[in-house]
């Protein structure tokens, strides 16, 4: 193993590694083992960040590592445009089986942003309509198309206009921040705003797709009310609009269900999947019913690296581990346990305005005072730094970075939850 020290790495990074990419921590990482990440000084950190919801089975998972090694010995290079490869086809079959009917057809890509690009292109080509509706505070990625439907930070959009034309942003039903916990009112007002948008700005007959995260990720771990998702589904059906669910962060068991949209009992037309799919190797996918991609047409979209055999072999190991160890149920149960612990801490902590699930997609929102709900991003950022000092990795999110998101691995244990809560409580006492 390389013996480069943390200081050497940081200094080297300052010379040749991009300063444009934002980093949560000025720490240098050496290796990971199970649910711990180790820095170059050998200090271990309980990893409840998972590289932003990616390494959901932790680090160096034996099944994933073995699958990668085996595939590397056989074939590394892409097969997408060359024909068919075993792990690629098998992952398509097994991934499709996790979706409700009629979602059965997979297009593999490399990143979350690419799935958004693909979804937007498919929607436009298949419907023959230009319009895309997305929601305020959403985050869908960094490519120009994905940036056009993203509004969780001005910095993500500034200087890039003109963005994609015919994109319209509707208010997201932020239950805590805008409606003080009233889901019904949040649903009613957001649907009314959507109807106003399609009555005064863009006719529904010009809209190809409505794009939504069933739980907003970067925007603040804001769950869309189930009733809102159902009304959105009905609205799309009424107007022939495709409903695109961005499950890049909320998918793969994170919400205590395999897919976040299942909380509402709806079936989207297109689902975007990435992050957790290969526990750290670059892989993503869009999932639709077969007929939609048949209408999209051969060659209407393509990729060189999408569906890499090594990434797909890792993906198979991830999916089989989740299934065999019943990890979606574990995420639901452990999510309740972690949420209960956080609520207990929040009850005695006026700086916490809200603790919200679902499952292991938990947001803790910090406020300057509870009644006014004024966001306190400085506090949340100071806290994640303090937690890291004390050996726990958690991240912020939210438009003012005011939410701490807890992204525990799907196979987290009660002992680790207790350890994390203890560190968080200690951090709160010193910040």
Ligand X SMILES: Cc1ncc(COP(=O)(O)O)c(C=O)c1O
Binding site for ligand X (CB under 6 A): 52, 111-113, 139-141, 213, 217-218, 246, 248-249, 274
The distance of closest approach from Cβ of residue 174 to ligand X in the complex, given in angstroms and rounded to an integer, is 16
**Cβ atoms of 99 and 287 closer than 8 Å:** yes
Nearer to ligand X among residue 40 and residue 402 (C-beta)? 402
Half-sphere exposure of 225 (CA within 13 A, CB side): 20
Q: What is the DSSP letter of 383?
A: H
Nearer to ligand X among residue 217 and residue 220 (C-beta)? 217
What is the distance between the terminal CA atoms of the chain, rounded to a whole angstrom? 36
Nearer to ligand X among residue 127 and residue 249 (C-beta)? 249
Q: What is the DSSP letter of 367?
A: B
**C-beta atoms surrounding 196 within 10 Å:** 12
Q: What are phi and psi of 230, to 5 degrees?
A: -65, -40
- Dihedral sign (CA 189, 195, 200, 206): positive
Nearer to ligand X among residue 246 and residue 376 (C-beta)? 246
Nearer to ligand X among residue 131 and residue 280 (C-beta)? 280
Closest to 88 measured CA to CA, from 323, 315, 319, 322? 315
The distance of closest approach from Cβ of residue 218 to ligand X in the complex, given in angstroms and rounded to an integer, is 6
Nearer to ligand X among residue 64 and residue 212 (C-beta)? 212
Nearer to ligand X among residue 202 and residue 394 (C-beta)? 394
The distance of closest approach from Cβ of residue 275 to ligand X in the complex, given in angstroms and rounded to an integer, is 6
The distance of closest approach from Cβ of residue 213 to ligand X in the complex, given in angstroms and rounded to an integer, is 5
The distance of closest approach from Cβ of residue 73 to ligand X in the complex, given in angstroms and rounded to an integer, is 28
Nearer to ligand X among residue 52 and residue 385 (C-beta)? 52
What residues contact residue 88 under an 8 Å CB cut-off, 6+ apart? Answer: 79, 80, 108, 307, 309, 312
Render 249-306 in DSSP notation, one character per residue.
TTTTTTTSSSSGGGGGT---SEEEE-GGGGBTBS-EEEEE-HHHHHHH-TTSS--SST
**C-beta atoms surrounding 41 within 10 Å:** 11
Q: What is the DSSP letter of 217?
A: S
| Residue of minimal Cβ distance to ligand X | 112
The distance of closest approach from Cβ of residue 23 to ligand X in the complex, given in angstroms and rounded to an integer, is 14
The distance of closest approach from Cβ of residue 146 to ligand X in the complex, given in angstroms and rounded to an integer, is 6
The distance of closest approach from Cβ of residue 326 to ligand X in the complex, given in angstroms and rounded to an integer, is 25
């Amino acid at each position: 193993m390389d013996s480069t020290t943390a200081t050497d790495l940081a200094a080297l990074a300052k010379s040749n590694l991009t300063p444009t990419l934002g980093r949560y921590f000025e720490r240098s990482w050496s290796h990971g083992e199970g649910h711990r990440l180790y820095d170059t000084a050998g200090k271990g950190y309980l990893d409840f960040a998972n590289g932003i919801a990616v390494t959901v089975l932790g680090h160096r998972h034996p099944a994933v590592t073995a699958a990668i090694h085996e595939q590397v010995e056989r074939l590394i290079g892409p097969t997408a445009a060359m024909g068919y490869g075993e792990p690629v086809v098998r992952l398509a079959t097994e991934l499709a089986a996790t979706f409700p009917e009629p979602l059965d057809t997979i297009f593999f890509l490399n990143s979350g942003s690419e799935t958004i690009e693909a979804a937007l292109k498919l929607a436009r080509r298949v419907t023959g309509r230009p319009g895309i509706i997305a929601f305020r505070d959403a985050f869908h990625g960094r490519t120009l198309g994905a940036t056009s439907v993203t509004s969780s930070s001005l910095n993500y959009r500034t200087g890039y206009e003109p963005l994609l034309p015919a994109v319209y942003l509707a208010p997201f039903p932020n239950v805590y921040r805008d409606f003080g916990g009233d889901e019904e009112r949040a649903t009613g007002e957001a649907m009314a705003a959507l109807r106003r948008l399609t009555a005064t700005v863009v006719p529904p007959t010009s809209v190809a797709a409505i794009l939504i995260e069933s739980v907003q990720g970067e925007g603040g771990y804001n769950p869309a009310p189930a009733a809102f998702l159902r009304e959105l589904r009905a609205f799309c059906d009424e107007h022939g609009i495709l409903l695109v669910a961005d499950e890049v962060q909320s998918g793969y068991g994170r919400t205590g269900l395999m897919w976040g949209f299942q909380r509402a009992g709806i079936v989207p037309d297109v689902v975007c999947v990435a992050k957790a799919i290969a526990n750290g190797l670059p892989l993503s996918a869009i999932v639709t019913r077969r007929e939609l991609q048949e209408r999209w047409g051969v060659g209407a979209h393509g990729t060189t690296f999408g569906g890499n055999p090594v990434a797909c072999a890792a993906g198979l190991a991830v999916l089989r581990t989740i299934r065999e160890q019943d990890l979606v149920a574990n995420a639901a149960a452990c999510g309740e346990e972690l949420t209960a612990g956080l609520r207990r801490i929040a009850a005695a902590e006026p700086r916490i305005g809200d603790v919200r699930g679902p499952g292991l997609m938990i947001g803790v929102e910090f406020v300057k005072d509870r009644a006014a709900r004024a966001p306190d991003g400085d506090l949340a950022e100071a806290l994640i730094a303090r937690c890291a000092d004390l050996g726990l990795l958690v991240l912020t999110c939210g438009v003012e970075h005011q939410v701490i998101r807890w992204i525990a691995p799907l196979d987290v244990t009660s002992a680790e939850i207790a350890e994390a809560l203890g560190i968080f409580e200690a951090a709160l006492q010193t910040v």
